[in-house]
Amino acid sequence: MPNSIFVTKERCTGCTACVKACPVSCITMVDRDPNEGVKWRKLAVIDEVKCVFCNACVEVCDNLGAKSAHKDLFNAITMTKETATSTGPAIDTSLYKGVWVYAEVRHGKLVPTIYELLSLAQKLAGTLGEDISAVLIGKDVARHAQDIIDHGADKVYVLDHPCFENFVDELYTQAFADLILKEKPNKLLLPASTLGRSFASRLAISAKTGITADATELTIDPKTRLLHATRPSFGGNLMATILCEKQRPEMATVRPMSFPRSEKKPGRQGKTIPVPVDPSKFKQRTRFVKYEPEQGEEQDISAADVIVAGGRGVGGAAGFKPIEALAKILGGAVGASRAAVDAGWITYRHQVGLTGRTVRPKLYIAAGISGQIQHLAGMNSSDVIVCVNKDPEAPLMKLATLSIEADLFEFIPALVKELEKRKGH
């Protein structure tokens, strides 16, 4: 039976609760036919083509029914979902052991996201009672192995060859997939970076498994030993927890800056395993042409120690001028809320939040940002949070380390002026 959803006219009161709960805006309220003989003027109508069958509308309507004294009302939405069927035979999951992480190397340098993945891997491996392994791919990358071991890896698989000098999806995928099929890891985490996102899905297909993209929370169910990977869905309006029950490894890309870094223990014991590489086995239809570094002086918010962010309260593109001035004098980066980006006041690369970037600076200054849950999820791990807002009841004002009730257009220029004066001395 295919998915279906419908509204029982006699039970619908036209309260609009389902409209507000729908993450994809597929429910509208229409005028009832006066001849129906129902006192309620409005009726909910659901567009099944747009509906994603998330059950949000059903839950809110049923909750209202549970609280209502009128048992003949509410509980008006009925949904049926088709039963998923397996696309192939399940594997013997007992043959797969170990938590693996991918250590990204970019232009010869080890990307710090590996330390976050190792911290997370330690938590997952502790529940499972399994070893932690890292995978290094590139040219002259074996020198990074001991550093990865110092940060928590028990083994480091090293695929070191000139053909991997520059990142090419096809080559990296084929080499990594061969290693997975041979060694059979249980869980595999990759960074949700530009390169990680580029080949993680290819890798999952090649390894004949599933993947959860851009996860912000990962845990192990002690009873089932399954990885519970949670990620934002429908523009951050819902959080979805995804399972991969019948295939291995269970894979996920992890949003950078979502987890703390693992501690370094110099001299820690581990095993470095060189993996033979035969480029003649790889099928290659694309090639690396050249790398051109991004031009401009703007800092990447994901790596900044100081971020000054603006939101709806800045009022327009010009409102970011004082934000930029403060960021410049503090040696920081400029951030923004989704509302400011959606309005076209600033580019997406500055967006902080569930649908933007997750950041973990030492200092986060938020000006004109109320602090909706989607934004808080992207910056609430900052060491020190300063909020400037005229509304003392704004959610972020209550979360902040220091809350300043003020007009940002008066406060920030005054702060910049004072900092310039002190800098001059």
pLDDT at 147 (0 to 100): 94
Of 339, 338, 346, the C-alpha closest to 319 is: 346
In the structure encoding, which two tokens stand for residue 302, read together?
Answer: 């994901």
Closest CA to 226 of 253, 250, 255, 191: 250
At 123-174, the pLDDT tens digits run: 999 999 999 999 999 999 999 999 999 999 999 999 999 988 888 888 889 9
Could you tell me the pLDDT band of residue 87, with boundaries at 50, 70 and 90? very low
Reading the block at residue 131, the tokens are 């070893």
Q: Mean per-residue pLDDT for 46-69?
A: 86
Q: Which residue has the higher pLDDT, 1 or 361?
A: 361
Cis peptide upstream of residue 249 (ω within 30 degrees of 0): yes
pLDDT tens column, 367-381: 999 888 888 888 888
CATH of domain 4-80: 3.30.70.20
- pLDDT at site 289: 78
Q: What pLDDT, on a 0 to 100 scale, did the predictor assign at position 296? A: 58
SS (HEC) of 42-111 = EEEEECCCCCCCCCHHHHHHHHHHHHCCCCCCCCCEEEECCCCCCCCCCCCHHHCCCEEEEECEECCEEC
Q: Identify the residue with better confidence: 323 or 197.
A: 323
Question: Domain 301-424: which topology?
Answer: Rossmann fold (3.40.50)
What residue ranges do the domains of the chain occupy? 4-80, 93-279, 301-424
Q: What is the dihedral of CA 349, 355, 360, 365, to 10 degrees?
A: 70
Residue 308 pLDDT exceeds 90? yes
- What's the gap between Cα 393 and its chain centre? 28
CB contact at 8 A, 364 and 378? no
| 174-196 confidence digits (pLDDT tens) | 999 999 999 999 999 999 888 88
Q: What pLDDT, in 10s, does the model give residues 108-125?
A: 889 889 999 999 999 999
Q: What is the mean pLDDT of residues 65-72?
A: 78
Q: Above 90 in pLDDT, residue 413?
A: yes
**From 235-244, 355-364, 415-424, the region with the lowest mean pLDDT:** 235-244
**Residue 37 falls in which region: left (phi positive, over 0), alpha (psi -120 to 50) or beta:** left
- How confident is residue 89, by pLDDT bands cut at 50, 70 and 90? low
Instruction: Calculate mean pLDDT across residues 294-317.
Output: 83
For 297-300, the CB contacts below 8 A with 24+ separation are 298/333, 298/334, 299/332, 299/333, 300/333, 300/349
| 388 burial level (CB within 10 Å; 0-12, 13-18, 19+) | buried
The answer on pLDDT for 86 being more than 50 is no
Structure-derived torsion over alpha carbons of residues 10, 12, 14, 16, reported in degrees to the nearest 10: -170
Output the pLDDT for position 235.
56
Percent of the chain topping pLDDT 90 = 48
Domains 4-80 and 301-424 share a fold: no
Cα–Cα distance, 411 to 423 (Å, whole number): 18
The pLDDT assigned to 90 comes to 66
Judge whether 209 and 248 are in contact, CB under 8 Å: yes
pLDDT in tens, 226-278: 999 888 776 556 778 888 888 899 999 998 877 888 999 998 999 999 999 88
| CATH fourth-level superfamily of 93-279 | HUPs (3.40.50.620)
Burial class (CB in 10 A: 0-12, 13-18, 19+), 421: exposed
pLDDT digits (tens, 9 = 90+) for 314-358: 999 999 999 999 999 999 999 999 999 999 999 988 999 877 888
Query: What's the average model confidence in pLDDT over 52-70?
Result: 85
* Tokens read off for 255: 């949003």
3-class state of residue 27 by DSSP? strand
Q: Closest Cα to residue 7, out of 38, 117, 35?
A: 38
Band (pLDDT 50/70/90 cuts) for residue 425 is: low
Using the CB atoms, write b or e for 214-231: b if 16+ within 10 Å: bbbbbebeeeeebbbbbb
